[in-house]
Every structure is written in C-alpha cells, then in structure tokens.
A = this chain, B = another copy of it.
Amino acid sequence: MAYKGTPSSIVEAAEELFAEQGFNETTVRQITNHAGVNLASINYHFGSKKGLIQAVAEKFLTPLCNSLERMLNDFQMQSAQEISLEDLLEILMRALLSVHHENLHALSVFMRLLELAYMKSQEELRSFLMQRYHSKLQPYIHLLRVNAAPMEEDEFFWRLHFLLGSITFTLSNFHTLSAIEKTEYHSDAEVEKIMHRMIPVLAAGLQARADKSYFCRI
C-alpha cells in the first residue's frame, strides 16, 4: 500500500478512532500514534482537533450530498413512473454506501457526527452543518414529505428524526451490533444487507397513519 501523505494518514487514523470511541474520547495523541506521525502535525495541517473533525465531516458530507442529488436526477430521468418511498430510501442507502467505499469507519464516524450535532452543547457544529448542507438536502426531504402519509409539518419533522435515529443508531454502533448478532445468532451481518432491511421499516414508519387520540386507549 502506497504511502498516503501525512494529512491523509491523520484523517484515516482519526476516522477509525472516532468511529470506535467517539470524538471527545479520542485524543490527538492516539490519532498521531496510530497514524505514525508527529504529535504536532494535527495542529499543523488542520489547525486544531476541531478543524480535523470538520475536515472529516466535509470529506463525507460533500460526496454524500452529491451522490444523493445525482441519483435522484438519474432516477427521475430514466423512469417514467412516480418515485416511491422505498425508492427514495433505497437511494439514500446507496448514497450512504457509496460514501462507505474504503472502510466501515467512514459510515460510523459520519453517523456519530450527526449524533454529536444534535447535542445541546454543539450548536456551533450544528449550525455549521446546517448552513453548509441544508439547502442541498432540501429537494430529497421534500420528496420524502410528499410520499409520506399526509400529516402536519411538525409531525413530519418528528418522524424524520425518528427515522434519523434508527439510521444513526444502527450505523454508528454497527460494529457492536453485528458482534452481538454473531454471538447470539451465529449469522454474519453485512452492512449492505442491514441497510436494505431498514428500508421497509422506515417506509412503513413514514406512511403510518397518525394517531390523533392522545393516550386514551389503555
């Protein structure tokens, strides 16, 4: 394997460790040791640990948004029929998988990043991501909206985050979950298969009829 240059080595080591341990739990020492580079190189090349995290974030988010956009266009050109909810989710999963080119860490760290962005103390990261990617994701989200069951705006907002929770939880902890599956059911999980399995579940969730009653059945 060819030598990748210091910044690439750092990013790769960071992805792996971020995926396994999270961002705050990973120290710059661990990263530089794992990458076999000098302790100071993170600050030299990325300014700070935060800069490295943003670099990792952009490395995944930019191609993801591009994939999503392109696949959406391709589908709408090739197919005469209306796009279905399952198609949309399949497109999302494929876009995620195209990000997951080299190693599993990529997806895992990306999902951890989304989780981080929703933490109370991370408004800065959240608005950084929002400002950068919100508009690019808007067309996709709009298509989800029109294919979901009819519902109020705020209901859709929450359902979108129920769905996001499923995806981030599954993919950021995929390593642990597939290890449990292996010991309990002796079956090996591939990430592609699990993502495929998510599609009907998420689609059904978005299409479920909202229950107007409020805690009265029991």
Contact = CB atoms under 8 A, between A and B. Distances in A.
Interface of A: 20-22, 24-25, 75, 86-87, 90-91, 94, 115, 118-121, 126, 153-155, 157-159, 161-170, 173, 175-177, 180-181, 184-185, 187, 189, 192-194, 196-211, 214-215, 217-218
Nearest to A186: B154
Q: How many protomers of this protein does the assembly include?
A: 4
Given A170-B165, A218-B90, A181 B157 contact: yes
Contacts of A198: 158, 162
A65 to B, nearest CB: 19
B158 A162 contact: no
Contacts of A173: 118-119, 161
B217 A187 contact: no
A143 to B, nearest CB: 14
Nearest to A21: B121
10 contacts: A20-B119, A90-B217, A126-B176, A155-B197, A159-B201, A166-B166, A166-B205, A200-B211, A201-B206, A202-B205
User: For the complex, would chain A's binding face be called helix, strand, loop or mixed by DSSP majority?
Assistant: helix
Contact of A205 (B91, B176, B204): B204
A200 B20 CA distance: 33
A199 B218 contact: no
A153 to B, nearest CB: 6
Given A91-B218, A197-B155, A119 B176 contact: yes
Contacts of A87: 217-218
Nearest to A111: B165
A184 B210 contact: no
B158 A194 contact: yes
A5 to B, nearest CB: 20
Nearest to A182: B154
B118 A153 contact: no
A209 B204 CA distance: 9
Q: Which of A75, A90, A162 has the most CB of B within 10 A?
A: A162
